[in-house]
Chain A
């Protein structure tokens, strides 16, 4: 036996000792499971994560600066590009901030259509989450089934607004245009088909023991920590905090709908998964109620100097034509003031802080993106976990980098 061989410790000793030198691994920004261009600086001891530092900004497009150079109605288009999986939620938060500054009354039909589309969008956003989350963990086929259902929702949004991922359907004072003929039949068809799809997802993912063992007990955050780190939405409800702005700070008439707020106490990846899976059913319930409430009526507020007139009116009335010209060419002024408008987006509290100096362009628009805040808690959840579990934790946070970097 040579001298060198004596110095080599036996197999089991190597496994039991921790490494003297830690390893730093840069995960992303092109890693597919980071859902975009997130980079994580992971300090590893073997496969265990000692420290995780998220590095963001790769998708920064200066939207908050751009808002200040665009008229209020032009800003709606920018909001589509932030959280591109939940564009109608962004539209709603932005237009409601402006409406709050203007003290506008929105007609009932417009409110019902807003609620209906926001919940459809939430289902679509959760479908992307479910597909990619399952894909990250290794279940490939779920992705295709989810996108097939999402396609139906995007078709509905396209039928109403003309855009699939960038609808800009909600406008300050109401909606862009009324629902097309035959829309109710199409949405009822979707509602008839969707429960069967949900049942399939539950069978495909929820009952899967591999999926359960990859998610249960992973990435735990307690309720106190979750509040301290500002988590909102399904991530907060997955830690057992019963908070939903649709119920607790109601807007757009959500207080008149009958729905439950799913809460799971465990705070792990599985709990966040269960919350979102249960939210599918609650959103579905709200859409069904909203479709029942669709009654003919105006879709725009009675404010001719703010809301664009109908094309038909412009051909018949001189003053409509003048208002149209003024709104498009010069915009409308919003009185001086500041508001913060929070809504329950598909990922958490989506807040828009809008400050007006009395002119046709905002002085400052700040968007509190839920993904941004939820991601900041990633180190708390992932430290002490295995590197493969970090992928599951990122998936459970449901981040969209377009909203994080803005």
Chain B
């Protein structure tokens, strides 16, 4: 597809700026995914926002590959541009022992609630987040519900009392 050529150009520009920013690039179904090391995600987002027009964070979510996998967690960033209407996906891989990633709340304000939701559901910790509390589940909830090893019906019936 013609669209993905433009997306690859954005990734190439990032690589020129700093080769360590992109560890892998994948393309499927007309979408380009760039795997970014955890420590450089804020820099990559900042450069994409300020220099390449990706001014909106369309979505941020987590995924669990399963307890036996390493790295276990994925944090997926869907970037969108309101100027040239392209979409780029960034991905950070995290291990179970250290599920920490710097927050991108400083780049886009909208990341605030997305990151809270991801923390709530997967237990991924966003370092530097101003208000990292549970958002959908009650504050005394035990465990992280969207992890693969969390049973569908929970560990025990939840009681409000």
A residues engaging B (CB < 8 A)? 56-57, 60, 62, 64-66, 69, 100-101, 103, 225, 227-230, 241, 243, 248-249, 337-340, 342, 349, 351, 353, 355, 363-364, 366, 368, 372-373, 376-377, 405-406
Q: Could you tell me if B59 and A366 are in contact, using CB atoms closer than 8 angstroms?
A: yes
Q: Could you tell me if A230 and B135 are in contact, using CB atoms closer than 8 angstroms?
A: no
**From residue A342, how far is it (CB to closest CB) to chain B in Å?**
7
Q: Could you tell me if B136 and A60 are in contact, using CB atoms closer than 8 angstroms?
A: yes
Q: Could you tell me if B152 and A373 are in contact, using CB atoms closer than 8 angstroms?
A: no
Does B108 have its Cβ within 8 Å of any Cβ on chain A?
yes
Partner of A249, one of B76, B85, B89, B134: B85
Q: Could you tell me if B28 and A57 are in contact, using CB atoms closer than 8 angstroms?
A: no
Q: Could you tell me if A373 and B110 are in contact, using CB atoms closer than 8 angstroms?
A: yes
Does B145 have its Cβ within 8 Å of any Cβ on chain A?
yes
Inter-chain CA distance A368–B28, complex, in Å, is 20
A-B CB proximity, top 5 nearest? A230-B110, A368-B59, A366-B61, A57-B136, A376-B113
Q: Could you tell me if A376 and B112 are in contact, using CB atoms closer than 8 angstroms?
A: yes
Does B146 have its Cβ within 8 Å of any Cβ on chain A?
yes
In the complex, which of the residues B56, B78, B109 has the most CB atoms of chain A within 10 Å of its own CB atom?
B56
**From residue A142, how far is it (CB to closest CB) to chain B in Å?**
32
**From residue B32, how far is it (CB to closest CB) to chain A in Å?**
11
B residues engaging A (CB < 8 A)? 28-29, 31, 33, 55-59, 61, 63-64, 76, 78, 80, 82, 85, 87, 89, 108-110, 112-114, 121, 134-138, 145-146, 150, 152
Chain B residues whose CB sits within 8 angstroms of the CB of A225 once the complex forms: 109
Chain B residues whose CB sits within 8 angstroms of the CB of A366 once the complex forms: 59, 61, 63
29 contacts between A and B (CB under 8 A): A60-B136, A62-B145, A64-B121, A65-B152, A69-B152, A103-B29, A228-B108, A228-B110, A229-B110, A230-B57, A230-B108, A248-B85, A338-B28, A338-B76, A339-B28, A340-B58, A340-B78, A340-B89, A351-B59, A353-B59, A363-B63, A366-B59, A366-B61, A368-B58, A368-B61, A372-B113, A376-B112, A377-B110, A405-B136
Partner of B137, one of A57, A230, A376: A57
Residue of B at shortest CB range from A366? B61
**From residue B160, how far is it (CB to closest CB) to chain A in Å?**
11
Known: A364-B63, A373-B113. 20 other contacts (CB 8 A): A60-B136, A62-B145, A64-B121, A66-B152, A227-B56, A228-B108, A243-B82, A249-B87, A337-B28, A338-B33, A338-B76, A340-B58, A342-B80, A351-B58, A364-B64, A368-B78, A372-B113, A373-B110, A373-B114, A376-B113
Chain B residues whose CB sits within 8 angstroms of the CB of A64 once the complex forms: 121, 146
Instruction: Decide: A339 near B138, CB < 8 A? Known: A230-B56, A366-B61, A368-B58.
Output: no
Chain B residues whose CB sits within 8 angstroms of the CB of A377 once the complex forms: 110
Inter-chain CA distance A373–B113, complex, in Å, is 8
Q: Could you tell me if A349 and B135 are in contact, using CB atoms closer than 8 angstroms?
A: no
Chain A residues whose CB sits within 8 angstroms of the CB of B56 once the complex forms: 227, 230
Residue of A at shortest CB range from B152? A69
**From residue A233, how far is it (CB to closest CB) to chain B in Å?**
12
Chain B residues whose CB sits within 8 angstroms of the CB of A248 once the complex forms: 85
